[in-house]
């Protein structure tokens, strides 16, 4: 068994973004690219010697080969043990759970989340810390600086390890424990939710469609929904993970999960529909003829949390990313608990969860989760909804109407302009940034700006300050506009425009969001000149 030291030199651009390092698969497959980054993870976290890690991924193209590289490099750097999902598969929340449950030093997740997969699409790698959550910024900064000075990496020169069967194996001096990816996760879910009530719901004829989008949650959803909870076979569709997600875009929103949306809007729609993304941390919730925005979903979960055994004693607090709508804040106010506003990205929830300040967290980008793990969790959100519906036995549409009547409706939409010219996108942002101090009082289309600033976050637990987290504008009619550039794209820049307006009048709670938001959409265009600057006449994706 040869432990090789391979000479290498820094490769530019290995700076982790909102969620780990994401690049085109072909970039990751370049010589030394993955190896440099993995060595930088070890170097940036005090070395791998004696450490225990969790390893798994979403099954996309190159997942299997990358996992073998990570194993050979962990063994060469004298890690003690790696717990790896069978066939190198683990959903992101399942990996987070294993890190916590097994008390490991961290974990490596191979995923580009909801981005398409395949030789011409995207790949990604992310390091999670011992709390099970995405590495906080000080760690990602250290990893990045290691990538800039790296001169060599260690790797064993051995054949691939067989990961097809659970069991204990040796690679050099390192132990490899291949585990069933689903079982520990399924047990955790059973401990959180009222499975008997959900079983009774399905037994009563309640129908559901879960679209796994050819991604990693297929096996989890089949095992939990169909086997443990008795949903009829066929409830879970597109359940076999595929290296290129069958050519699709594994992002659970009305655009990419259109087949499910069409079924749910039809006359014979099931009672409940849901979908999850590439690595199983996102969720989409849809009732019969009733799409639930992620911001609203978070608010409904918070308002009904006491129906779930794990949260029966109430929530300690809630947290949402800044661009997420304030719907959950209104519930928090009613419950008399804190609502925290954090920068975009799950890593910012970690301290609030670890410190017991927040129990539920969510983002407008289809991410919802709680203190049960340190990642957002797609299937958990679906089970939370099922638990609520099992207890109150009302259609989703009635749940939403009731919620809006009680709390008001935060009309919400996000407009994305994808693969925009980077220079143009940055010019748009910096042009607005300079004007921020002078914008209050200015009229934009029909609305007048009342506040304009750039979001910065002071972490209340460790005092870390994070700046440059999105431009925020308030208007005289109560509407809010946020603009930021995506930190997960792999091509050009993605401009995200977040639009929100609260409505409390009972006769105006059921409008089309794009119409309810028309005034702020026009104000955004007047303010930022998006069409002119991006050369686009409409957003690529509206959610
Ligand atoms: C996007 C979402 C963000 C989420 C992240 C990882 O990041 O907007 O909420 O945490 O993906 O799933 P962005 O591309 O906006 O930086
Ligand atoms: Zn994801």
| 153 alpha carbon – ligand 2 mean position (Å) | 29
Over residues 301-346, the pLDDT tens digits come to: 999 999 999 999 999 999 999 999 999 999 999 999 999 999 999 9
The residue nearest atom 11 of ligand 1, judged by CA position, is 488
Residue 18: predicted pLDDT? 74
Total number of residues shown for the chain = 543
The tokens for 477 are 């009619």
Average pLDDT over residues 109-115: 95
| 326 alpha carbon – ligand 2 mean position (Å) | 23
Ligand 1 contact, 126 CB (< 6 A)? no
Ligand 1 atom showing the smallest separation from residue 496 Cα: 15
Contact indicator for 235, 224 with CB cutoff of 8 Å? no
DSSP run (H or E) holding 168: strand 167-171
Ligand 1 contact, 19 CB (< 6 A)? yes
Ligand 1 contact, 365 CB (< 6 A)? yes
Q: Would the pLDDT of 388 be above 70?
A: yes
Residue 1: predicted pLDDT? 57
The residue nearest atom 15 of ligand 1, judged by CA position, is 486
Over residues 212-224, the pLDDT tens digits come to: 999 999 999 999 9
Residue 212: predicted pLDDT? 98
Q: Would the pLDDT of 536 be above 70?
A: yes
> Which residue from 128, 487, 492 has its CB within 8 A of the most atoms of ligand 1, so it is best to mutate?
487
| 78 alpha carbon – ligand 2 mean position (Å) | 30
Helices 327-335 and 396-407, packing angle to 10 deg:
70
Which whole-number Å values give the CA distances from 104 to 97, 98, 148, 346, 370, in the listed order?
Answer: 10, 8, 27, 20, 20
Q: Residue 499's CB: how many other CB atoms inside 10 A?
A: 26
Contact indicator for 142, 13 with CB cutoff of 8 Å? no
| 291 alpha carbon – ligand 1 mean position (Å) | 21
- Catalytic residue annotation: 113
Of residues 437, 444, 349, 423, the one with CA closest to residue 19: 349
- The residues placing their C-beta within 5 Å of ligand 2, an ion, are 113, 277, 279, 281-282
Over residues 62-93, the pLDDT tens digits come to: 999 999 999 999 999 999 999 999 999 999 99
Over residues 393-438, the pLDDT tens digits come to: 999 999 999 999 999 999 999 999 999 999 999 999 999 999 999 9
Which whole-number Å values give the CA distances from 400 to 194, 288, 454, 510, 513, in the listed order?
Answer: 22, 12, 32, 10, 14
Q: Report the share of the chain in percent with pLDDT over 70.
A: 100
Task: State the chain's mean pLDDT as an integer.
Answer: 96
Q: Which domains does the chain have, with CATH numbers?
A: 2-180 (3.40.120.10), 185-407 (3.40.120.10), 409-542 (3.30.310.50)
In DSSP notation, 121-142 reads SEEEEEEE-TTSSBPPHHHHHH
Residue 136: predicted pLDDT? 87
Ligand 1 contact, 469 CB (< 6 A)? no
pTM beyond 0.75: the answer is yes
The tokens for 131 are 């709390």
For residue 163, give every residue at least 6 positions away whose Cβ sits within 8 Å of its Cβ, in sequence order, or none. 64, 67, 84, 86, 87, 88, 178
pLDDT band at 4; cut points 50, 70, 90: confident
Contact indicator for 67, 110 with CB cutoff of 8 Å? yes
Ligand 1 contact, 395 CB (< 6 A)? no
The residue nearest atom 5 of ligand 1, judged by CA position, is 345
Ligand 1 atom showing the smallest separation from residue 113 Cα: 12
Ligand 1 contact, 251 CB (< 6 A)? no
Over residues 346-385, the pLDDT tens digits come to: 989 999 999 999 999 999 999 999 999 999 999 999 999 9
Ligand 1 atom showing the smallest separation from residue 489 Cα: 14
Average pLDDT over residues 152-166: 96
| 398 alpha carbon – ligand 1 mean position (Å) | 30
| 367 alpha carbon – ligand 1 mean position (Å) | 9
């Amino acid at each position: 068994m040869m432990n090789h030291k391979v000479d290498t030199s820094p490769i530019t651009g290995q700076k982790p973004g909102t969620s780990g390092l994401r690049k085109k698969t072909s970039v990751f497959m370049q010589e030394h690219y993955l190896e440099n980054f993995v060595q930088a993870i070890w170097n940036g976290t005090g070395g791998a010697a004696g450490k225990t890690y969790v390893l798994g991924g979403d099954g996309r193209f190159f997942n299997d080969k990358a996992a073998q590289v990570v194993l050979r490099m962990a063994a060469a750097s004298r890690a003690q043990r790696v717990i790896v999902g069978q066939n190198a598969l683990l959903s992101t929340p399942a990996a987070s759970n294993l890190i916590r449950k097994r008390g490991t030093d961290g974990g490596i997740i191979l995923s580009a989340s909801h981005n398409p997969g395949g030789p011409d699409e995207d790949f990604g790698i992310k390091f999670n810390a011992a709390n099970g959550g995405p590495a906080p910024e000080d760690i990602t900064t250290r990893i990045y600086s290691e990538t800039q000075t790296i001169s060599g990496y260690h790797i064993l020169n051995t054949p691939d390890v067989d990961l097809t069967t659970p069991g204990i194996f040796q690679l050099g001096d390192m132990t490899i424990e291949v585990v069933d990816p689903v079982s520990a996760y399924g047990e955790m879910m059973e401990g959180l939710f009222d499975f008997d009530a959900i079983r009774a719901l399905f037994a009563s004829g309640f129908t559901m469609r879960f679209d796994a989008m050819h991604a990693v949650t297929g096996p989890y959803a089949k095992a939990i929904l169909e086997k443990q909870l008795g949903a009829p076979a066929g409830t879970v569709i597109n359940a076999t993970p595929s290296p290129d997600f069958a050519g699709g875009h594994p992002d659970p929103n009305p655009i990419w999960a259109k087949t499910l949306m069409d079924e749910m809007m039809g006359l014979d729609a099931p009672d409940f529909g849901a979908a999850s993304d590439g690595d199983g941390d996102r969720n989409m919730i849809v009732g019969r003829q009733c799409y639930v925005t992620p911001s609203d979903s978070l608010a409904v979960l918070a308002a009904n949390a006491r129906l779930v055994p794990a949260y029966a004693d109430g929530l300690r607090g809630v947290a949402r990313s800044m661009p997420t709508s304030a719907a959950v804040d209104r519930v928090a106010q009613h419950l008399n608990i804190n609502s925290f506003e954090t920068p975009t990205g799950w890593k910012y929830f970690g301290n609030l969860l670890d410190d017991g300040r927040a129990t539920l967290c969510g983002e407008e980008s289809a991410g919802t989760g709680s203190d049960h793990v340190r990642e957002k969790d797609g299937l958990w959100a679906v089970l939370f909804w099922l638990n609520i519906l099992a207890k109150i036995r009302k259609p989703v549409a009635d749940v939403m109407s009731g919620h809006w009547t009680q709390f008001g409706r935060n009309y919400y939409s996000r407009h994305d302009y994808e693969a925009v010219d980077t220079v143009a996108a940055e010019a748009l942002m910096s042009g607005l940034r300079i004007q921020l101090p002078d914008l209050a009082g200015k009229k934009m289309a029909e609305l007048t700006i009342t506040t304009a600033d750039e979001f910065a976050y002071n972490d209340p637990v460790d005092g870390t300050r994070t700046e440059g987290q999105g431009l925020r504008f308030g208007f005289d009619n109560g509407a809010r506009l946020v603009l930021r550039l995506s930190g997960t794209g792999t091509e050009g820049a993605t401009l995200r425009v977040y639009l929100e307006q609260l409505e409390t009048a009972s006769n105006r709670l059921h409008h089309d969001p794009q119409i309810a938001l028309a005034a702020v959409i026009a104000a955004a265009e007047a303010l930022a000149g998006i069409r002119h600057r991006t050369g686009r006449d409409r957003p690529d994706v509206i959610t």
